[in-house]
Structure 1
C-alpha cells in the first residue's frame, strides 16, 4: 500500500503518485519516455540496465517488471549493466578507470545518454521505494 493516496491524474500507479502536481508528472513522464526510447543506445539495452538498477534501488513496483536477462546481453549491454552495478556499489563515485572501460565501448554521446538514463531511473526507483509503490 502506498504512503499517500493516488491522485486522479495519471495512467500508471507511478504517475498517479506524481499526479498530485500535474506539471511535475507530465514533465517527469515526458523525460522518462524520451530516455526509454531508442536513442544513441537501444531501448533493449536500457531495459536491461533498468532491471539491474531495480534489484538494488528498493522499488518493488520496478522489481516486479523482471530481472536482467544476461542471455540477451551483447558486449555493449554487458558493459552498460556492469557500469550500472558499479554506480550502485560506489553510490555515484565513479573512478577514472571505470570511465576508461566505458570509453572503449561507447562514444561520448552514448556515455552521456547512459549516465542520464541511470541517474534518472535511479531517481524514479527511489521515488517508488519511498512511496511504497508495489508491483
Structure 2
C-alpha cells in the first residue's frame, strides 16, 4: 500500500500520487510525455533505458513493466543501456572516458536527450519508491 492516499486527480496510480498538487502532476506528466516520445532518440531506446533504471531504482510500479528486452536492442540501444548501468553505479561520478565512448555513437543532442531522460526517469522512479507505489498489471 502506498504511503499516502492517492488523490482523485490523475489517470495512473503514479499521477494520482502527484495529483495532490494538480499543477505539479500536469507539468510532470507533460515533461514525461515529451521525454518518452521519439525525439533525437527513439522511444524504444528510451523504454529499454527506463526498464534498465527501474531494476535498481526501487520502484515496484516501475519494475512491473519488465526487464530490458534484448530483442529490441540495436547498437545504439545497447550503448545507451550500458550508459544507464554506469549511471546507476557511479551517479554523478561518471568518468570522461564513458562520454568519449558515447560520442562515438551519439551526437551532442542525443547525449543531452539521453542524460535528461535518465535524470527525469530516475526522479520519477525515486518518487514511486519513496511513496511505495505498488506494482499493477499492465
Q: Could you say which TM-score interval applies, normalised by the shorter chain?
A: over 0.9
2:111 matches 1:111? yes
TM-score (norm 2): 0.97
- Structure 2: runs of 5 or more not aligned: none
2:138 matches 1:128? no
More helix by share: 1
TM-score (norm 1): 0.99
Alpha-carbon separation, structure 2, partners of 1:99 and 1:127: 28
Task: Quote the residue 2:39 is aligned against.
Answer: 39
Contact 2:44 2:72 in 1 (8 A): no
Runs (4+) of structure 1 exceeding 4 A deviation are none
Task: Quote the residue 2:74 is aligned against.
Answer: 74
- Structure 1: runs of 5 or more not aligned: none
Task: Quote the residue 1:30 is aligned against.
Answer: 30
Matched residue pairs, number? 135
- C-alpha displacement at 1:72, in angstroms? 1.9
For the aligned residue pairs, the C-alpha RMSD in angstroms reads 0.5
Per-residue deviation, residues 21-63 of structure 1 (Å, max 9, x unmatched): 0000000000000000000000000000000000000000000
